[in-house]
Amino acid sequence: MAKDYSDELMTQLQGEREGDVLRAMLEVMCQQVMEAELARHVGADRHERTQGRSGHRNGYKPRTLKTRVGELSLQVPQARGTEPYSPMFFAKWQRSERALLVACAEMYFMGVSTRKVKNVLEKMGGFELSASTVSCVAQELDEKLAEFRNRRLDDAVWPYLMVDATYVKARKKGRVVSQAVLVVAGINGEGRREILHWQQADVESEDTWTEVFRDLKRRGVKGVDWVVSDGHEGIQAAVRTQFSGAGWQRCWTHFLRNALAKVNHKHKDAVARELSAARKFDDVKICMAESERIAAHWESSYPKLARQIRAQFEETLTVHHLPSQHRTTNMLERLMREIKRRTNVVGIFPSADSADRLIGAQLIERHETWATERMRYIVMDHLDDQHETKQADHEKQQSAA
């Protein structure tokens, strides 16, 4: 039956007009994915006899799925004698895309629709959402975001934290306001990376970052050795009070971006090459000597650049004594650019909650991508060596006492 159904879909595909071909192709692909998933779910292919079978097929149920290429008409296979089967892409289907639909629809229902919002919905499939659908999807997203944001983190140590912030515009009490979005990612003792936290705040300040770090500690974050961020003074102050003894590293990506903003376009490549080359030496003293040479070379043309190099370059070398692969600081920077790109699609969110849904969904999707990586992000063997050395020193002190 599955083959007959696929053949029927392929026949329909060949007969579709050009504008509907992509949608028909996606229907065929989704149908085949569900058939393969159901085979794994019941432990056997159609008509296959095997001792590992845990259930049987039980017909199909029609279901539609709204996507950016239009509404898909699918036949969802059913199972009996085992747990109910639910297609992966129905449950997981691009939470961020669904959050974007909720945000756009809210704009209509709250009377703040614009031509730009209308164009967004048309590009995503040309369909409308009812108020009840919006409410249900929003509730589902809120529950998943809350569960993720409150999960315990005390099953690992977190030697590296990377923090950053961006701003979005949202309507609040009839006004359009700018909201800070504070994001924290971490690398645990096994070298795996995770999204740890995000939250909105009226401003990015020492108080708001202190609140974020306290929440992380409440959920079990421990063993923090280094915190990587831009040069925001509020972050640095919060790190000193909440993670006493942890080192702070100025994010190289932020440093370089700020430096190049002080340089004419024709000199940007040269300055970027020189500054990047200055960090490649293993000896910090040589790095600092090179940075001073660069500052002196460009000082007459760009005095602000020279002042920045002299004031901040050393702060980008905090983790320089670690293995070279541990010196990467742009893991979160790339993610923040993607968040900014997605939020710019909406422009002005109808509420802070709708912005939180879209950003949170995007972060969870990235978290799940990281969780399925086969390779560790970085090798943490040096931490094991450090812990063994500390343990040996502690035992010596105990013996001497």
For 27-54, the pLDDT digits (tens) are 877 888 888 888 888 888 888 888 878 8
Please tell me the pTM assigned to this model. 0.65
Q: Could you please report the per-residue DSSP string of 216-276?
A: HHHTT-----EEEE-S-HHHHHHHHHHSTT-EEEE-HHHHHHHHHTTS-HHHHHHHHHHHH
Cα-Cα end-to-end distance for the chain: 79
Among 316, 182, 327, CA closest to 248 = 316
pLDDT at res. 399 = 61
Domain coordinates in residue numbering, the chain: 2-91, 95-147, 252-328
CA dist., res. 374 & res. 33, Å (int): 23
**Of all residues in the chain, what percent are helix, strand and coil, respectively (each to 5)?**
55, 15, 25
More confident residue, 118 or 183: 183
CA dist., res. 371 & res. 79, Å (int): 29
Q: What is the mean pLDDT of residues 375-389?
A: 66
| 8-12, 206-210, 312-316, 369-373: segment of lowest average pLDDT | 8-12
Q: Which positions ≥6 away from 101 have C-beta within 8 Å?
A: 66, 121, 124, 129, 137
Among 255, 263, 234, CA closest to 308 = 255
| 95-109, 131-145, 354-368: segment of lowest average pLDDT | 95-109
Q: What is the mean pLDDT of residues 139-150?
A: 86
Three-class secondary structure of residue 169 per DSSP: strand
Residue 126 gets the label, from left (phi > 0), alpha (psi -120 to 50) or beta, of left
Q: What is the mean pLDDT of residues 146-175?
A: 93
Q: Are 277 and 290 in contact (CB under 8 A)?
A: yes
Which residue stretches of 50-183 are H helix? 88-92, 95-109, 115-123, 131-149
Q: What does DSSP assign to residue 85?
A: P
| 6-15, 88-97, 152-161, 184-193: segment of lowest average pLDDT | 6-15
pLDDT at res. 267 = 94
CA dist., res. 241 & res. 272, Å (int): 34
Q: Are 77 and 62 in contact (CB under 8 A)?
A: no
CA angle 321, 380, 322 (to 5 degrees): 5
Q: Quickly count: other Cβ atoms within 10 Å of residue 309's Cβ.
A: 26
